Structure 1
Amino acid sequence: MFRSMIAAATLGLTGLAAMAAPLTEAELQEKVESVRQDAGLVALGAVVVDTDGDVLGLAVSGERRKGSADAVQPDDAWHIGSNTKMLTALLYGRLVEQGEAEWGATLPELFPDLAEEMDPAWQDVTIEQLFSHRSGLAANPGVTWFLTSRGSKEPVEAQRTELAQNYLSKAPDGKVGAFQYSNLGYMIAGAAIDRIAERQGYENYEALFLSTLVPEGEGWGFGPPQEGIEGHARNLFGKWKAKGKGTAADNPAALGPAGTLHVPLVPHAVFLSQFLTPGPTEEKLMTPYPDADSDYAFGWGMIPPGKLGPVLGHSGSNTMWLSTIHVLPEQGLVIIVNTNSFSQKAASALNGFSAELAASYASEESD
């Protein structure tokens, strides 16, 4: 069954409330429970960290699995969907820093083994255009791929190479340079990283990511979490049904670079706090592309500056989970709100709650 991905559609910190004092631990816990109940969610979690990676607020509420009475725990891992994308771009940036990759690399340079069979229209398409959804690639692989890929015996890196061969040998689906949100683009970027990983002695993108980008022992992984929380979808009667921990609980594994990561709230937010004190790589990833008129960078949506200054945001879902991230550089805040039960009501609730948290934890100097 096709699993859609949610990204730039739910980025805004809407309805920003007047700034107030930071919530106490009890107040935050009460608010998380209230938001969860009002939105009809199975579980909800929220974390706020500052520039130093210190946790300013953390609370979770609800059940790991609907009807289980097994309470979600603060260190449980949550599936973050398309919020994987900003980290795939960051991994490539780290490879550039190491001299293992280059910004501006074209598709023939990224795939020398496929260059001869590429359609001429791809000759000048760059890694930046893959990461900014301006490559001309389709939004997703075809429905047939989604229906068959879970049963494939081929390694994920071989599946991604096959997708690159199939799509790059034909003319672009869309106009090169125009924005079209593309999971496929990030999968093909992942195929390029697969090649770099192999040169470095790693099996694929996933192995390189977990071995070199994120700290070990903090609960990072690909696919549905194998312990703790489960994702949920509506059944025929509109009730939440847990989807388990198997292959049916996520998009196909080969989609990893576009959106199959899971990670607990605190390690995730602390890791993202590096974007609050950005180096050259982070600055590039947070800069609108191709110019200041764009509202998207490299895995980040750009929200127009308001009362709290500029905001970067992104949301991700495989239709069973929803993760919403907002980074406020001038306020020195990273805010993540997650649920294990996706709905449009959930998307609105998580954005609204993020806005409240931003207002509560923002510096008084911005008032």
Structure 2
Amino acid sequence: MFRSMMAAVAALGLMALPTLAAPLTEVELQEKVDTVREEAGLVALGAVVVDADGEVLGLAVSGERRKGSGDAVQPGDAWHIGSNTKMLTALLYGRLVEQGKAEWGDTLPELFPDLAEDMSPAWQDVTIEQLFSHRSGLAANPATTWFLTHRDSKEPVEAQRTELAQKYLSKAPDGKVGTFQYSNLGYMIAGAAIDRIAERQGYENYEALFLSTLVPEGEGWGFGPPQEGVEGHARNLFGQWKSKGKGSAADNPAALGPAGTLHVPLVPHAVFLSRFLTPGPTEEKLMTPYPDADSDYAFGWGMIPPGKLGPVLGHSGSNTMWLSTVHLLPEQGLVIIVNTNSFSQKAASALNSFSAELAASYASEESD
């Protein structure tokens, strides 16, 4: 079944922050996580708050790894983060630019010289920035038939992404170039470009380059459904949560990796993102609205209107079984991540509200 990716960035913004409160104690945070999970009817829930130094200010998990198993979720378990992969795919490209292996402003013909001859003229001036900001003109996703036929594909993921690039870049754009249209396909094609850079450096593909050069080893980062610990869930015909296991049915096709199949434990994820709170030039670029200040999206980050705690950047990710929400509060020096292994609209609302409560609890002061 086709797994649509969640793009409701603004809906998960910290729009209605409660009054500032004292930071939660360890016991209070655990009680709150338990309560939110139970009231929202979730199988498992996890939350972490980290400061700009990468120090964990709060961490708690609640519920079962697999519904009905009695196997309690653990703080070190990995969670599928869906489209929250996107900001890290953009960061990987930024690191390649820093190393002189890639360039900002590269156009699709420059990214794909091997495909340029058969590329539609409409793509000639589309840049890597437009892929990362969902303004390339590409469709939201590959055709539904692609999802149905590639979930169990044995073809290398880099070959699958090249085939998609060949197919979609040989014809006119689906939408208007320069106009926002959330696109997993755009990130998959950006991934195909990174595949080529990875190969030139001796790596098999985007995934190998990502895991070998961007994130620390031994922390639990990986692609696809976690192979141990927590499992994703979906409602069955009777409305009950049912585990989707650890196989191909537990995620989108593997070739969608650059757009959203990462998994990672809460703490390593939050600590890694804390570097955006003390940004260098690359991080600054990735957090800057594109193409101008009127945009509400940057490169894998949604721009949320400033409130009493200052500006907020956020994103969400879901493969319709998991849900991960990330919020970055630069003026407060906070990263807040709340995840569940049981996606629903009720879950999305609960995670959004809980993130707002955590922001109010751990913030140091209101913004002017």
Give the TM-score band, short-chain normalised.
Answer: over 0.9
The alpha-carbon deviation at position 51 of structure 1 amounts to 0.4
The alpha-carbon deviation at position 153 of structure 1 amounts to 2.3
CA deviation profile, 1:295-326 (whole Å, cap 9, x unmatched): 00000000011100000000000000000000
Indicate the residue corresponding to 1:311 in structure 2.
312
Distance in 1 (alpha carbons) for counterparts of 2:236 and 2:15? 30
Distance in 2 (alpha carbons) for counterparts of 1:205 and 1:129? 19
The alpha-carbon deviation at position 365 of structure 1 amounts to 5.6
Give secondary structure in 2 for the equivalent of 1:190.
helix
Indicate the residue corresponding to 2:6 in structure 1.
6
Tell me, yes or no, if the aligned pair for 1:10 and 1:314 is still in contact at 8 Å. Answer: no
Tell me, yes or no, if the aligned pair for 2:15 and 2:307 is still in contact at 8 Å. Answer: no
Distance in 2 (alpha carbons) for counterparts of 1:193 and 1:366? 39
Distance in 2 (alpha carbons) for counterparts of 1:83 and 1:5? 11
Tell me, yes or no, if the aligned pair for 2:49 and 2:335 is still in contact at 8 Å. Answer: yes
Tell me, yes or no, if the aligned pair for 1:11 and 1:301 is still in contact at 8 Å. Answer: no
Distance in 1 (alpha carbons) for counterparts of 2:69 and 2:62? 14
The gaps in structure 1 that reach 5 residues or longer are none
The alpha-carbon deviation at position 366 of structure 1 amounts to 4.2
The alpha-carbon deviation at position 190 of structure 1 amounts to 0.1
Distance in 2 (alpha carbons) for counterparts of 1:81 and 1:115? 31
Tell me, yes or no, if the aligned pair for 1:11 and 1:303 is still in contact at 8 Å. Answer: no
Tell me, yes or no, if the aligned pair for 2:12 and 2:348 is still in contact at 8 Å. Answer: no
> What TM-score comes out, normalization by structure 2 length?
0.99
Give secondary structure in 2 for the equivalent of 1:365.
coil
Tell me, yes or no, if the aligned pair for 2:308 and 2:366 is still in contact at 8 Å. Answer: no
Distance in 2 (alpha carbons) for counterparts of 1:74 and 1:235? 27
Indicate the residue corresponding to 1:126 in structure 2.
127
CA deviation profile, 1:209-254 (whole Å, cap 9, x unmatched): 0000000000000000000000000000000000000010000000
Superposition RMSD in Å: 0.8
Give secondary structure in 1 for the equivalent of 2:146.
helix
Give secondary structure in 2 for the equivalent of 1:161.
helix
Superposition map of 1:283-302 within 5 A = 283-302=284-303
Give secondary structure in 2 for the equivalent of 1:338.
strand
Tell me, yes or no, if the aligned pair for 1:324 and 1:336 is still in contact at 8 Å. Answer: yes
Tell me, yes or no, if the aligned pair for 1:51 and 1:333 is still in contact at 8 Å. Answer: yes
The alpha-carbon deviation at position 27 of structure 1 amounts to 0.2
CA deviation profile, 1:79-133 (whole Å, cap 9, x unmatched): 0000000000000000000000000000000000000000000000000000000
Tell me, yes or no, if the aligned pair for 1:10 and 1:315 is still in contact at 8 Å. Answer: no
Q: Percent identity?
A: 91
The alpha-carbon deviation at position 154 of structure 1 amounts to 1.1
Tell me, yes or no, if the aligned pair for 2:152 and 2:253 is still in contact at 8 Å. Answer: no
Distance in 2 (alpha carbons) for counterparts of 1:66 and 1:149? 28
Distance in 1 (alpha carbons) for counterparts of 2:272 and 2:13? 22
The alpha-carbon deviation at position 12 of structure 1 amounts to 1.0
- The count of corresponding residues between Structure 1 and Structure 2 is 367
The gaps in structure 2 that reach 5 residues or longer are none
The alpha-carbon deviation at position 36 of structure 1 amounts to 0.3
Q: Which aligned runs of 4 or more in structure 1 are off by greater than 4 angstroms?
A: none
Give secondary structure in 2 for the equivalent of 1:278.
coil
Give secondary structure in 2 for the equivalent of 1:80.
strand
C-alpha spacing 1:249/1:208, structure 2 compared with 1 (3 Å): same
Distance in 2 (alpha carbons) for counterparts of 1:152 and 1:366? 50
The alpha-carbon deviation at position 156 of structure 1 amounts to 0.2
Indicate the residue corresponding to 1:335 in structure 2.
336
The alpha-carbon deviation at position 10 of structure 1 amounts to 3.0
The alpha-carbon deviation at position 150 of structure 1 amounts to 1.7
Distance in 1 (alpha carbons) for counterparts of 2:247 and 2:321? 13
Tell me, yes or no, if the aligned pair for 1:14 and 1:351 is still in contact at 8 Å. Answer: no
Indicate the residue corresponding to 1:255 in structure 2.
256
The alpha-carbon deviation at position 152 of structure 1 amounts to 2.1
Distance in 1 (alpha carbons) for counterparts of 2:165 and 2:259? 14
Give secondary structure in 2 for the equivalent of 1:158.
helix
Distance in 2 (alpha carbons) for counterparts of 1:47 and 1:304? 23
Distance in 1 (alpha carbons) for counterparts of 2:192 and 2:325? 26
The alpha-carbon deviation at position 15 of structure 1 amounts to 2.2
The alpha-carbon deviation at position 199 of structure 1 amounts to 0.1
CA deviation profile, 1:330-353 (whole Å, cap 9, x unmatched): 000000000000000000000000
Distance in 2 (alpha carbons) for counterparts of 1:175 and 1:274? 34
Tell me, yes or no, if the aligned pair for 2:235 and 2:242 is still in contact at 8 Å. Answer: yes
